[in-house]
Amino acid sequence: MQAALRTFHCPKDPAMNDESLIRAALTEWQQAFCRKDVDALMALYAPGAVLFDAIPPFVDDVAGMRNKIIGCLPYFPDDTRIETRNLAVTVGTELASAHCLWHFTQLPPGHPAGRHWFRSSTVWQKQPDGRWLILHDHCSAPFNPYTERAVLSPDAQAALDASPESCGSGANPVGWFEIYVADMDRAKAFYSAVFGFEFTRLESPIDLWAFPMQSTNAGASGALAKMDGFGPGGGSNSVLVYFSCADCSEQADLAAWNGGEVVKPKFAIGAYGHIAIVKDSEGNLIGLHSMA
């Protein structure tokens, strides 16, 4: 038979004000999780609490959160601990808020929960008996919208911010492709007939017609291109991928120093920045693009 829900009681110390009671309740939440006491943990939530957890689904109620915690506790060792940073509590007459950063510690190497720091924001409601219970609990991890990956810790974000931008830094490495053609009208007609694409002329020294671009969606877009010396036949690629760089001349120089060859040094392509074209160590042509 399931044990009856426990009620969390803060110490009856008259010196403890409302902020101290909430801080004590947050400590009890962490300790209850680490000792795997589900009843004590869930007793800190108001019956109608709404929870936004870092793990799906997007919205949980108290019963759903209880089941989720029961399901995940077996994967945590008995000596699991929680570290908290930057806890701040603001108290009103009937409602209060608290927010902090926290993560699990003393987990085995490679444990999936050991890599993440979380942001936690809670809204508390004062009860008639003087207790404070969680009315809303929001736990999340920030993500980089360019890579669609979570930022695992505040320290990782600081290192990312401090690191110099380089080819592929902070984003997927390939940002553009070009299919080189001999007859632009014929090529546009082919891709329009096969895929239904409509092309847009780009203002560039190269004869460049862009495929449809969706800037908010995943994947790289590209264009049909016509440029002397490049295209079907002639011993060169007819499809060229472009790697995103801070300054494409730097990567062109590095290519030459590392067994490659600069085929076309950095040059401007109007409002779209600059490109260079190089051969890799195997003789493949690749493009380099930068805005600077």
List Cβ neighbours of 257 (8 Å cut-off, separation of 6 or more): none
Burial of 246 (0-12, 13-18, 19+ CB in 10 A): middle
Q: Measure the CA angle with vertex 133, ends 87 and 137; round to 5°.
A: 55
The pLDDT tens digits for 130-173 are: 899 999 999 988 776 544 566 766 665 444 443 334 444 455 56
Domain, as residue range, for 223: 174-290
Lowest mean pLDDT among 33-42, 102-111, 116-125, 245-254: 102-111
Of 143, 165, 194, which residue constitutes the final position of a domain? 143
Q: Which of 143, 164, 184 is the last residue of a domain?
A: 143
Once rounded to an integer, what is the mean pLDDT over residues 246-254?
87
23 plus 137 within the same structural domain: yes
- Same domain, residue pair 234 and 280: yes
Give the distance from CA 77 to its chain's centroid: 28
Is pTM, for the whole model, over 0.85? no
Dihedral sign, Cα of residue 149, residue 152, residue 156, residue 158: positive
Residue 162 located in a structural domain: no
Same domain, 138 and 195: no
Measured CA to CA, the distance from residue 290 to residue 4 in angstroms comes to 63
Token representation of residue 4 = 């009856």
For residues 53 and 64, give the distance between their C-alpha atoms in angstroms, rounded to a whole number.
11
DSSP state of 261: E
Q: 62 in a domain, yes or no?
A: yes
Task: Say yes or no: 105 and 204 in one domain.
Answer: no
Query: pLDDT band at residue 183, thresholds of 50, 70 and 90?
Result: confident
**Count of structural domains within the chain:** 2
